[in-house]
């Protein structure tokens, strides 16, 4: 089958591999983008296994926490430009949203938009803000996290990354400090899983297959590949699972060691624009399309 230049460019963006390598990978996999990505990894050509998505939206992630520290909220509010994200009205609207999320047990953005406020709705308030500032905005997502013990939240880079943790443990100053440190670690290290026990068999099988293909490509003897794979998979857990990651402030211990008796029950991490791919330079048109949808 013919491989389009657009598909080659998309694979190159995802993997940072060369154009000819990308074209060959797509040819070998009949144009299957995911299979081609794995092909490049197996050949040792792509090192972008966890390449972050390119940000295709500006704005901020907002956070808030209840007075009793048992509920926290994260809200991602997108704008067309970073300039608008610095606007005081934009910031006030984002803070209001986090307060509403904490006060109301909402499940969807649609429910948040429909929420009554000051004789109007959140959706109407947003449209009024758009008209006032002259730029499209979008409530992309939110999270509401609660705990019988306590929660913590952290914003990195002024709202480019937001983290919320659900915790179980004694509510002491020491544990609060640990919780905040772990939230900062999550912001920096972006774990995919809380603990290695959460990694699905499908993910494990896929990772082992890719690693084994890499070792074969490197010419490793068949009789030692299984032993090497054990170490490789332990490294995978160390890189991708929060509790097994080396603690960012002291790499001699893991996050689990640092937490001690404090239990991390769940982790929520929002990165601004995460997953929104910028496919062209007409960003204004892209955001308007999102708003119209």
pLDDT in tens, 64-83: 999 999 999 999 999 988 89
| Residue 247 confidence (pLDDT) above 60 | yes
Q: What residue spans of the chain are helical by DSSP H?
A: 5-15, 19-28, 33-42, 82-85, 88-103, 109-114, 122-133, 173-189, 201-217, 222-240, 255-259, 283-292
pLDDT at 276: 62
Q: Is the Cβ–Cβ distance between 221 and 234 less than 8 Å?
A: no
Domain 1-51 has CATH 1.10.8.10: yes
d(CA 80, CA 288): 9
Which residue spans of the chain are classified as CATH 3.30.479.20? 58-193+264-292
Q: Is the Cβ–Cβ distance between 75 and 62 less than 8 Å?
A: yes
d(CA 210, CA 240): 16
What backbone phi and psi angles, to 5 degrees, belong to 288? -60, -40
Q: What is the CA radius of gyration of the chain?
A: 22
**Which helix or strand (DSSP H or E) is residue 171 part of?**
none
pLDDT at 178: 98
Q: Is the Cβ–Cβ distance between 192 and 238 less than 8 Å?
A: no
Q: Which fold has domain 58-193+264-292?
A: Tetrahydropterin Synthase; Chain A (3.30.479)
Report pTM. Answer: 0.75
Q: Calculate what percentage of the chain has a pLDDT beyond 90.
A: 71
pLDDT at 47: 47
What backbone phi and psi angles, to 5 degrees, belong to 266? -155, 155
Which residue spans of the chain are classified as CATH 1.10.8.10? 1-51
Alpha carbon 100 to chain centroid distance? Answer: 23
Backbone torsion region of residue 269, taken as left when φ is above 0, otherwise alpha when ψ lies between -120 and 50, otherwise beta = beta
Q: Is the Cβ–Cβ distance between 164 and 143 less than 8 Å?
A: yes
pLDDT at 173: 97
Q: Which two tokens stand for residue 202?
A: 């499908």
Q: Which two tokens stand for residue 292?
A: 């119209």
Q: Is the Cβ–Cβ distance between 17 and 46 less than 8 Å?
A: yes
Q: What is the DSSP letter of 118?
A: T
Q: Of residues 12 and 117, which shows the higher confidence score?
A: 117
Confidence of residue 55 (pLDDT cuts 50, 70, 90): very low
Burial (CB count within 10 angstroms: exposed 0-12, middle 13-18, buried 19+), residue 148: exposed
pLDDT at 99: 98
- Cα–Cα–Cα angle for 46, 184, 276, nearest 5°? 50
The arithmetic mean of pLDDT across residues 204-212, rounded, is 94
Q: Average model confidence (pLDDT) for the chain?
A: 88
């Amino acid at each position: 089958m013919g491989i389009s230049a657009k598909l080659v460019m998309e694979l190159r963006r995802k993997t940072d591999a060369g154009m000819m390598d990308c074209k060959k990978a797509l040819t070998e996999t009949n144009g299957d983008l995911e299979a081609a990505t794995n092909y490049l990894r197996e050949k040792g050509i792509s090192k972008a296994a966890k390449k972050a998505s390119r940000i295709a939206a500006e704005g901020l992630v907002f956070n808030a926490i209840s007075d009793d520290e048992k509920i926290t909220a994260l809200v991602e509010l997108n704008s067309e430009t970073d300039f608008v994200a610095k606007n005081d009205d934009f910031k006030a609207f984002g803070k209001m949203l986090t307060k509403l999320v904490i006060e109301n047990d909402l499940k969807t953005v649609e429910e948040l938009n429909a929420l009554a406020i000051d004789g109007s709705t959140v959706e109407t308030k947003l449209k009024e803000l758009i008209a006032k500032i002259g730029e499209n905005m979008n409530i992309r997502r939110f999270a509401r996290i609660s705990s019988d013990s306590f929660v913590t939240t952290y914003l990195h880079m002024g709202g480019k990354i937001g983290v919320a943790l659900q915790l179980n443990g004694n509510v002491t100053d020491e544990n609060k400090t640990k919780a905040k440190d772990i939230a900062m670690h999550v912001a920096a290290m972006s774990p995919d899983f809380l603990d290695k026990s959460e990694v699905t068999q499908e993910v494990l099988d896929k990772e082992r297959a890719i690693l084994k293909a890499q070792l074969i490509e490197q010419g490793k003897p068949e009789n030692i590949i299984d032993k090497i794979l054990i170490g490789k998979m332990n490294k995978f857990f160390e890189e991708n699972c929060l509790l097994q990651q080396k603690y960012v402030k002291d790499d001699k211990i893991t996050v689990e060691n640092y937490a001690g008796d404090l239990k991390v029950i769940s982790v929520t991490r929002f990165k601004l624009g995460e997953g929104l791919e910028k496919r062209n330079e007409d960003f204004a048109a892209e955001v308007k399309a999102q708003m119209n949808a």
